[in-house]
Amino acid sequence: MAKTVIIEEFGGPEQLKIVDMPVGEPGPGEVRIRHERVGLNFIDVYQRTGLYPLTLPHALGMEAAGVIEAVGEGVTHLAPGTRAAYAAMPPGAYAEARVMPAAHVVPLPDDISFSQAAAMMLQGMTVEYLFHRTTPLKAGDTVLFHAAAGGVGLIACQWAKSEGITLIGTAGSDEKCHEARANGAAHCINYRTENFVERVRELTDGKGVDVVMDAVGADTFTGSLDCLKPLGMMISFGNASGPVPPFSLAELASRGSLKITRPTLFTHIAEHETCMSMANHLFEKVISGAVKIHVDQRFPLDAVAEAHQLLEARKTTGSTVLIP
């Protein structure tokens, strides 16, 4: 049996329930992993509220790190006793242990702690695909990144600096802007006190940025389009303020033949080999020191509802982990 967080109805943090669930043995292509640390992400909130529907009841949680306890037939890249980490479907990481598909579980280098791994797999591989698999980016390019002091944002600030890319961040306080700049953002705009569109235009001499990376959604979408230079790329990869409402494709033409995409991590890691490649690229960045993982909040698994409340209120910085 393993303590596991589930929801039986969509709604607020009060819907999170802790139950004892049988774990069982891994079947072909599966592993059983005992979690040391579990990551908290905004996708967990989307699933809890029903924005991303699940068949109920359902466990939550998309990433974790721990030790492999058993492997099923056909699993060759993992063995009992292997330190491992993952960001993967289906949800179910908010648990002491689970059985899950092995294809997206990767061996964890000894140089990376369980807390670091649980805080970085989903967010770090998201940054990897944003900078390397979505649109061509090179040294000298300029990116606007919203929520630059969040878990994904702080990794993105460092990643951009390590590759000579100018990152302009936005955040909701001067303190968060300071943190984004300390992690490599060339500039950070406090959107509560400044108009980020006007400020971006000032910072780019009126040209706009090459790429916008926007996980905020409804509140920033139109302004994000207005920050792009002609032929620029809008990457909408989240909905922290709510989903983007429908809009006319003609808006892209009138703003300078803009491009737009709505990617997800799970499309990118669908193939085992690609997942391993992305994870290893992330591990290299962390082990080299180019990217440091900020675990700024830690909660016991029993306090998962409180962790959700703080995340939704945007009162967290960096990454948050749960301790089973």
Return the SS3 of 203. helix
pLDDT, position 75: 97
The pLDDT of residue 246: 93
Long-range contacts of 188-195, Cβ-Cβ distance < 8 Å, separation of 24 or more = 188/148, 188/149, 191/220
* Other beta carbons less than 10 A from residue 69's beta carbon: 17
pLDDT per residue, tens digit, the chain (324 aa), is: 999 999 999 999 999 999 999 999 999 999 999 999 999 998 999 999 998 999 999 999 999 999 999 999 999 999 999 999 999 999 999 999 999 999 999 999 999 999 999 999 999 999 999 999 999 999 999 999 999 998 899 999 999 999 999 999 999 999 999 999 999 999 999 999 999 999 999 999 999 999 999 999 899 999 999 999 999 999 999 888 888 999 999 999 999 999 999 999 999 999 999 999 999 999 999 999 999 998 999 999 999 999 999 999 888 888 899 999
Neighbouring-strand partners of residue 83:
67
Tokens found for residue 272: 């085992």
For position 309, what pLDDT does the model report? 96
pLDDT at site 189: 98
CA distance 131 to 127: 6
Residue 170's identity, in one-letter code, is T
φ and ψ at residue 36, rounded to 5 degrees: -95, -40
Q: Which domains does the chain have, with CATH numbers?
A: 2-123+266-323 (3.90.180.10), 135-262 (3.40.50.720)
Which SS3 state, helix, strand or coil, does residue 206 take? coil
| Residue 315 pLDDT | 87
